[in-house]
Every structure is written in structure tokens, then in C-alpha cells.
Amino acid sequence: MNEIMSVLEQSLTDANFRKLLAIPNRRVHKFVADAIRLCKPMKVFVCNDSREDTEYIRRTAIARGEEAPLANPYHTVHFDGYFDQARDKERTVYLVPKGEVLGEHLSQIDRDYGLQLARDRLSGTMENKKMVVRFFVLGPLDSPFSIPAVQITDSFYVAHSEDLLYRRGYDYFRRMPEDHEIFWMLHSSGKLIHSVSTDWKKRGVMIDYKTNTVYSMNTQYAGNTIGLKKLALRLAIRKADKEGWLAEHMFLMAVHGPTGRKTYFTGAFPSGCGKTSTSMTRGNSIVGDDLAYLRKIDGKVRAVNVERGIFGIIRSVTEKDDPIIWDVLHSKQPAIFSNVLVTEDAEPRWLDDGLPPPKAGINFSGEWFEGKVDRNGEVIPYAHKNARYTIGLDGLSNLDDALDDPRGVEVGGIIYGGRDRDTWVPVQQSLNWEHGVITMGASLESETTAATLGPSGVRKFQPFSNLDFISIPLGRYIQNHLDFVVDIDSPPLIFAVNYFLRDKEGNFITDKSDKRVWLKWMELRVHDEVDAIATPTGHIPHYEDLKSLFEKHLDKEYSEAEYEEQFKLRVPDHLAKIERIEKVYRETVPDAPELLYRILSEQRAKLEAIKHRLGDCIVPSVLA
């Protein structure tokens, strides 16, 4: 400890040394000292969450050019490097000790080799830069759900973003028991030119789950650098596996039912598939849009939002379709825009924002003008497809009052959804918990989007909308879901939704606003207030119930022809899906539960039987 104190005393000013030592946890002191010895920062700033300290972080992000002010004095813009615009799945690896295997779906390397590689890439990367030390808590404070986390970074943009997204934890750390489990995050942007990471070819995220530590280097994109987001989710899934709860890539919202009733739902959707817009639907209230922890408390499944803000895809956010987000993004609430276009009037613009396209401005490629092309001759859009906004939840008019409830909220339903052009109907309920876990959660597929590097529009296996983050063998993860409600008398209902069903010409056959109706129907099903039609794949709504809900909540006529087209059973597509899902499990998931194959086999038999009787495409009126 004397050596650790010596490093801290030499590297920190008196004020910062006192702030760090006010946290009595010796492991915190060691983590900071080790990071200083490795990264060799010019200075170290310890944030104590005071208004003065947090404002200093925001001002410094602007002064260093990591962010730039916009016309709205409460808003800034950040640009990631041209090749650093999304989560880098290929270079996000687990450090696995000899003798352990996590599964084929995860990138992994030998732990000893990976730790040395991380140290080599981080060594000296903060010379002539300032290190920021921040303390946060995942989940509500002083709660069964609370997980403390330390973030060390040389990016004031990262430190500022986390201030909007997470619950500040400095005071929590000051009173926290010495042996409390902590998540540790160390990030360096690496070499910078014009405040942009330049060594993107050496970009990397390395997860040492043995010590709950994440190392991130040579990148600025938030999905690769904000340790408390998807990086901490990977650590939380392992913690949940050991302790018997679930850490999920899910929104958490309250659907408002009759007579002022609120029913809470979680929902798992891959990025860019309507997750945030679902949690923000008009007439309901949001607890969180991205990450949830689920625990069993007093015989009920209860959940919390891990975060306290939104890092959302901004493409297609319009005043008409997303009025609540639109209002916040045009208000005095603090916001960071990333990879949008900035006009000469210092206004942010993004793709499909409902306004006439701009002719010129500044974007992720530098000076932008209409018709500008990249080195391959491809036209550069005026904003990136994966452009984002970062805001705190406090400014939302539809924020639910249970956000910081330390006991969480009781979960009535769980929703799975993805980009599916030809198979799932717009909304259906599973036959039971096991059926939902297997055919909706474990069998989820989705077309890729710009939220990850690589081509868009490719159908990918995406179980539980969590495949990229599952840090234990997939078979065990599925079994954890199956076992989770064994001692729960009335588990949440499981639903599947699909906003992306298309006709033969490729046109979407549902409207963006229709999700409001699907949510209201699910809420009524949780309380057993509407009947449903049993099909081989699940329970679907009756036409008259949907017609009434469309009229009541959207003031919209809903024809029987629309209903028949949307909810017809596409038997060949379902059978093809089962073949794909079985194949991927048999080939890549050796520990998949036998129950998975049994339930898929039973569903195949039902589909083949009904095909024999009624044909390939069956309208719901025949099934009712």
C-alpha cells in the first residue's frame, strides 16, 4: 500500500488526492495507481460529482475539441473518426483462462496473452493528456440491484456522456463496504488528430471477466468506450449467472391500461429495431430504453433500469413520429449529438428528420457538401446512419415515477422483437413461459443495421437480442431463463412483436404508430381481459379487439383485410425458420437444453399438420 500511496501522491494534486482518499476502498486506490503507472497521464482529475466538477468535465470536452457547442447553449456535438462509427464486434474479445471455453458465438483469446496485449496498447497512451476518474452505480442507489463501477478514461466526451447516462456514485463509494463487488473500466482514446482517434486499426475492447475489468483503446465511439453500457452488461450477465437473476438488453416501460392502471413490460430488440421508440410510445411512460436487471423479490419478478439516460439512434426521429424525444432535443435539457451534420447556423441535422435535406455543413467526414464522395466513390450522406443523441431521462415528459425505486417494478410481460420481413405476425403471445423462452427469445432473428460495423440488411441469429453480450455459454444462458420462474406462481407473459413485416412488393404492411395498439393489446392480455386465437406459434388477437383499440388509441379505421394480411400464418416461412434455428444450435451450441429441440419439434409438427389441412398461408378467421 505504501507504493500505491506514493504513486497517488506524486501524480495527483492535493485536492484530487483528498477526493480519492475520501473513498476508503483500497482496491479503488490500487486500480487508479495501476492505471497511472500504465498510461502515464500528464495529470489526473478525480470527479466528486459536485456541480463544479461535472461542469468542468463538460467545459473541458469542449475546450479540447472532443465536443463543439451548438446554437442551443445546452447542446454539443461530437464526431467519431470516419472508421469509428459503431460497436466493433470483431475486436471486442473475452480474455479466457486456459481450460475455459465460452462458446462459438464469442470472440475470445488466451487471458495471459490478452492482458499483455492490452498493457502494450495502453502503455503511455495518456502522456500529455489528463486522466479522468469517475464513480457510478448501475441500477438505483442503495438497492438489491446496485452495482458500483469505476470509469477511468482520457476522453472528457466519455466522462461527460456517462454523466448524462448513469447515476453518480461518488458518495455511494464513500460509504460502500470494502468487499463490495466492483466493475472496473479503463479506456484510452490513443493517438489523436483533431481530437479523433487515429489508430483505429489497433482498436480493441478486452474483457477480463476474472477481475470484472474492461480495457478499451484507440476508439471513441460510445459503444466501445462507455464502460457502463454494453461492456458492463457482459460482466453483469456473469454476475447474474452466479447469483440467480437476469441481466438483459431490454427496455422497461409502463403501458397504461384502463382506469389509470400501469402494467410494466420489458422488451428486447436489437439496435435499430424500434426499441427506444416502443418504450417512448405516446400514452405510456418510460423507465428505461436499453438495459434492465430482473430479480425475484417476494415471489414476483421485478426489474430496474440499469441506466438513467438514453444513448439513442437519432435517424428518423421526427416531430410527428417522436414528439417527446423531439421536444427534448429542442429544449434546454442537456444533450450530446454525435455524428450528425452541423449547419452553418450551428444546428444539428440527421437523416430522415422530416425537414428538407441540407446542402452543406460539417459532419463526420469534415466539410460536407451535397454529392461528396468517399475514396471509393460512394456518396457520403450528410449524417451517419448510426448518428446518436445522448440525454438524461429527467427531461422526458413521459418519465415514469418508478425510475429510482430501489425495489424495481413488477414485470407483467416480456417482449421480443427484431427486423423480420416474412415470418412473425405483428404481435403474438407465447403458449407458456418455456414456449416463449425457446420460440421467441432463443429463436430471435433480425436483419442487421448500422448500429454495428458490417453490411446492413443481413438476417442474423440474435437470441434474446443479446448474443453480442452473452458472456457465458449460450446453452447455460437459455437454461437460466427457463429456470428463472420455477418458483414463481404467476410469471410474466412472453410476447413477440414484428414492426417490419413486408408484402411481396417489399412494402411495410404496418405503420410506425401501430405499435401503440400492439402494446395495449398485450396489457389487456396480462390482465386476462381479452381472448385470443390459438395458433401453432402462439396466441394472436381477435379482429374486433384490435379494431376497437385502433379506433380508441389511434382514431384510425382498421379493416378486416389489413388484419387478415398482417396476421395470416405463413407456414413455410415458420418451418424454414425452425430449420435455421435448429441448425445453428446443433452446429454451434453444444450445451443447448434438450427442451429447446423438443419445443421446436413440437411446433414443427403442429405447423406441418395445419399445412396439410389448410395450406401454406392461413388467415386468422379460419383459425378462430
Nearest residue to 77 via CA among 380, 451, 364: 364
Give first-to-last CA distance, the chain, whole Å. 72
**584 contacts 461 by C-beta, under 8 angstroms:** yes
Look-up: residue for cell 374486433?
544
The SS3 call for residue 49 is coil
46 DSSP β-pair partners = 133
**440 contacts 485 by C-beta, under 8 angstroms:** no
Per residue, what are the HEC states of 329-387? HCCCCCEEEECCEECCCCCEECCCCCCCCCCEEEECCEEEECCCECCCCCECCCCCCCC
Cell of 492: 410474466
Helix H or strand E encompassing 445: strand 445-447
| 610 CB-contact burial (10 Å; exposed 0-12 / middle 13-18 / buried 19+) | middle
**135 contacts 23 by C-beta, under 8 angstroms:** yes
**197 contacts 218 by C-beta, under 8 angstroms:** yes
Look-up: residue for cell 436499453?
290
360-363 β-sheet, strand order: 348-349, 341-342, 360-363, 366-369
Q: Which of 39, 47, 273, 617 is catalytic?
A: 273
Dihedral over Cα of 67, 70, 74, 75: its sign:
negative
Report residue 580 CA to chain centroid gap: 25
CA distance 187 to 535: 50
Q: In the chain, helix, strand, coil percent, each to 5?
A: 35, 25, 40
Q: How far is CA 238 from CA 142, 231, 235, 437, in A?
A: 21, 12, 5, 19
Active-site residue, 39 included = no
Nearest residue to 2 via CA among 24, 33, 31: 33
68-69 β-sheet, strand order: 68-69, 75-78, 335-338, 388-392, 309-313
**423 contacts 570 by C-beta, under 8 angstroms:** yes
CA distance 393 to 6: 41
**One-letter identity of residue 487:** D
CA angle 468, 281, 518 (to 5 degrees): 85
**92 contacts 205 by C-beta, under 8 angstroms:** yes
Look-up: residue for cell 463490495?
180
Give catalytic residue positions: 273
